[in-house]
């Protein structure tokens, strides 16, 4: 039998297939705090508990797990193409009472000012990261959210990834504040700005705005890859 004949007669259902989902930790800075988007489960199992947005992979609509994640993200936020990164794949026999299941975890960064709030379901809410430990999320989503947070915080120490949370134009102070919010600590002004400028991550726009009592220069991303390395990582 050649391979063509083999595949023609192959039945994928000869083997049990686990439940396959994508889950997305969607982060935004809101009211000077890093927050995570959650949705309330409307069906069993874990009905009425809060969970990460996500859902089952659609074999007909999704050409890949990335496509499934983008579809779910767009459904939840109305944003077509924010920063989205795969974090991990988790699977176990006991993580979902419906059966053996695996999920591909992603995290996304969005500028809250670009979110189409009409796309957010009535059962969605934002949770401050400082409240995550006490949230009691559905399934293993507490651990998944923590994994995504740790990935975000790690990347914020050596890349300009947090620029994804910024509007088109921003001051360096505003950008530094976002880094500080993600990392949970204040950063030294001079060394932080030197790292960004040396890495060619931002550039002046020629515009300014009043910040406090004085005008402050406005900057924008140079469009360098978000995974580009800072010349020196931000140390604790």
SS (H, E, C) the chain: CCHHHHHHHCCHHHCCCCEEEEEEEEEEEECCEEEEEEEECCCCCCCCCEECCEEECCCCCCCCHHHHHHHHHHHHHCCCCCEEEEEEEEEECCCCCCCCEEEEEEEEECCHHHCCHHHCCCCEEEEEHHHHHHCCCCCCHHHHHHHHHHHHHHHHCCECHHHHHCCCCECHHHHHHHHHHHHCCCCCHHHHHHHHHHCCCEEEEEEEEEECCEEEEEEEECCCCCCCECCCCCCC
pLDDT, position 81? 62
What confidence score (pLDDT) does residue 178 get? 95
Residue 95 near residue 139 (C-beta atoms within 8 A):
yes
Residues 41-92 have pLDDT tens digits of 999 999 999 999 999 999 999 999 999 999 998 887 777 667 899 999 999 9
In this chain, the answer to whether the domains covering 12-139 and 156-221 adopt an identical fold is: no
CATH 1.10.10.10 fits 156-221, yes or no: yes
Architecture of domain 12-139: Alpha-Beta Complex (3.90)
Say if residues 231 and 195 touch (Cβ distance below 8 Å).
yes
Residue boundaries of the structural domains of the chain: 12-139, 156-221
pLDDT of residue 66: 96
- Relative to beta strand 33-40, strand 50-51 is antiparallel
Quote the pTM value.
0.91
Whole-number pLDDT of residue 128: 97
Please report the pLDDT score of residue 211 as a whole number.
81
Where the chain has pLDDT below 70, the residues are 80-81, 225, 227, 236
Predicted local distance difference test score (pLDDT) of residue 227: 67
């Amino acid at each position: 039998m050649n391979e063509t004949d083999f595949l023609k007669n192959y039945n994928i259902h000869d083997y049990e297939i686990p439940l396959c989902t994508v889950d997305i930790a969607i982060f935004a800075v809101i009211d000077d705090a890093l927050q995570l988007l959650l949705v309330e489960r409307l069906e069993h199992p874990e009905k009425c508990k809060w969970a990460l947005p996500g859902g089952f992979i659609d074999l007909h609509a999704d050409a890949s797990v990335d496509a499934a994640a983008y579809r779910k993200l767009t459904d939840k936020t109305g944003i077509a193409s924010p920063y989205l990164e795969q974090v991990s794949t988790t699977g176990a026999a006991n993580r979902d009472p419906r059966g053996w299941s695996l999920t591909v975890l992603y995290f996304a960064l969005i500028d809250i000012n670009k979110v189409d709030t009409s796309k957010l379901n009535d059962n969605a809410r934002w949770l401050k990261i400082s409240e995550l430990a006490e949230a009691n999320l559905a399934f293993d989503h507490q651990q998944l959210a923590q994994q995504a947070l740790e990935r975000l915080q790690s990347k914020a120490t050596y890349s300009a990834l947090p620029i994804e949370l910024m509007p088109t134009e921003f001051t360096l102070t505003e950008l530094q504040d976002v880094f500080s919010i993600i990392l949970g600590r204040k950063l030294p002004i001079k060394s932080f700005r030197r790292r960004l400028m040396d890495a060619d991550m931002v550039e002046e726009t020629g515009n300014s705005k009043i910040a406090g009592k004085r005008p402050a220069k406005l900057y924008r991303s140079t469009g360098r890859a978000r995974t580009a390395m800072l010349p020196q990582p931000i140390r604790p």
